[in-house]
Amino acid sequence: MVRVNLWFGGAARMARSKMDGVRKAKAAQTRAALLDAARRLFGERGYLNTKVTDITAAAGRATGSFYEHFADKEELLRTLLADIEDAADEHLVAVEHPREHDLTDREQLHAHLRIAWTVMREHRAVQVALFQSMVADDPGSGRAWRDLTSQTTVLREHLEWLRERGHELPGEPELIAAGMGAMLALTNYALPPGGAYDDEAVVEAFTGLILKGLTG
């Protein structure tokens, strides 16, 4: 009898473990479906015009399933932003990227702007959603500035290195980096896919503009 009980106990544990695995897999599929649906809808109609029920309907999931994974639409958007940051990190890892980069060197500046613009265009739907969410937020919250400065940390560090070397900048590194990021972000928001200017034209234009500003 003891052996039988042990066997059934082990079988029950195995069954529970299998069921847990199935539940986790289904939860992961639902989460991925919600993120994919949100990304698609943000690109089609924007963040402000997309409701949670729109996302769940597009994902083919019950509305309640959304709140099993995200507190609200803003948390889902932050999750999509983390994916963008991971993509940017992958671009940077692919090339040697020490702090000691000279943004007054045209080739190095061009490379940085190309990476930033490429990531923005590849994830334009999420970037548009982030922009709309930021603009809709309370202007006095400081969120826009926090987002902008946190997303341009790499540029700020390069500019700080330039100043440490004795290069005279037109302003504080944080402010200049934020301005660079803002110009790219707004252009990405305003310029529709397949618009009048291709990616290389945009990168070339901003490279020349920013280079003149940094070199005086």
Q: Give per-residue pLDDT as tens, 175-190.
A: 999 999 999 999 999 9
The answer on pLDDT for 138 being more than 90 is: no
Q: Which tokens go with 132?
A: 């709309």
CATH architecture under which domain 1-70 falls: Orthogonal Bundle (1.10)
* Range in 16-30, 55-69, 95-109, 156-170 the model is least confident about: 16-30
- Residue 127, number of CB atoms within 10 A of its CB: 22
Mean pLDDT of the chain: 88
CB atoms within 10 A of CB 87: 14
Predicted local distance difference test score (pLDDT) of residue 82: 86
Domain residues of the chain, as ranges?
Answer: 1-70, 72-216
Provide CATH code, domain 72-216: 1.10.357.10
Confidence of residue 126 (pLDDT cuts 50, 70, 90): very high
pLDDT of residue 81: 87
Instruction: Check residues 10 and 34 and name the one with the higher pLDDT.
Output: 34
Q: Is 141 left (phi over 0), alpha (psi -120 to 50) or beta?
A: alpha
Contact 188, 124 (CB under 8 A): yes
**Range 128-149 average pLDDT:** 90
Phi and psi angles of residue 211, each rounded to the nearest 5 degrees, phi first: -60, -45
The Cα 185–Cα 127 span in angstroms is 8
